[in-house]
Structure 1
Amino acid sequence: MQGRCACGQVTFAVIDARPTATFCHCSQCRRFSGHYWAATRADLTNVTFIAEDTLSWYRSSDHASRGFCSHCGSSLFYQPDGADHLGIAVGCLDQPTGFTPGKHIFTADAGD
């Protein structure tokens, strides 16, 4: 499957992504995405960047960074330090994805 940011300046292909979406309600994800974060994940070796000139990374905590397009602002990725996988926003993937809802995490931190 393929994905991209809103303006198309960051595009990528991914194979063997997890078939479920995880919904994260933590305050960082809500601020970064504007709502809770819906993401799948894939091994780094299964993600190929086609265009990434405007892909930027924001150090969002002492253990992870978040990838976004510096041109249009689309929030795209979550990368834990040292992990061999990448969290990928399901909303940036071309339809149909075939994903099913997985789990909700950090619900105690959910917005009102």
Structure 2
Amino acid sequence: MNKGSCLCGAISFTVAGALPMGSACHCTKCRKHTGHYEAGVDVPRSAVAIEGGEHVTWYHSSEKVRRGFCAICGSSLFFDPVHRDWIGISLGAFDTPTHTKLAMHIFVADKGDYYEIADGVPQNLQ
């Protein structure tokens, strides 16, 4: 069981099972939502339980995707493509060790000019 929460603790979540490898998204929307780039894992919706869901604010950043954050402390937590059977969870929100690694960087063509990606993980322009 993997456990996580927002900064203030109003929202907590559990993910059943091992976490898959994650990705780091450098697109403009993810950078604006998180303040840097977004590193997350995509897990089956059925594996996720959220407590304090009344404190999750959902922002529809596109027709197909909404992003969930804590209405109290502002922590970026979820990337939710509502038409899919999975939900993305920010790796930084986990309280327990994740025992995973990044598999790829995506939308690298949009990355900020103030940092370099030098971790040896594959990079995709889109």
- TM band (smaller chain): over 0.9
Where does residue 101 of structure 2 map in the other structure?
100
Alignment RMSD: 1.1
Percent identity, aligned pairs only, is 42
Structure number with higher strand proportion: 1
Q: Where in structure 2 are there 5+ consecutive unaligned residues?
A: 114-126
Decide which structure has the larger Cα Rg and report it: 2
Q: How far does residue 16 in structure 1 lie from its aligned partner after superposition?
A: 2.8
Deviations 1:72-108 (A, max 9, x none): 0000000113111000000000131111121000001
Where does residue 47 of structure 1 map in the other structure?
48
Where does residue 70 of structure 1 map in the other structure?
71
TM-score normalised by L of structure 1: 0.94
Superposed counterparts of 1:16-27, under 5 Å: 16=17, 18-27=19-28
Question: Quick check: 1:29 aligned with 2:30?
Answer: yes
Q: Secondary structure at the match of 1:8?
A: coil
Question: Runs of at least 4 residues of structure 1 off by over 6 A?
Answer: none
Q: Where in structure 1 are there 5+ consecutive unaligned residues?
A: none
Q: How far does residue 17 in structure 1 lie from its aligned partner after superposition?
A: 5.1
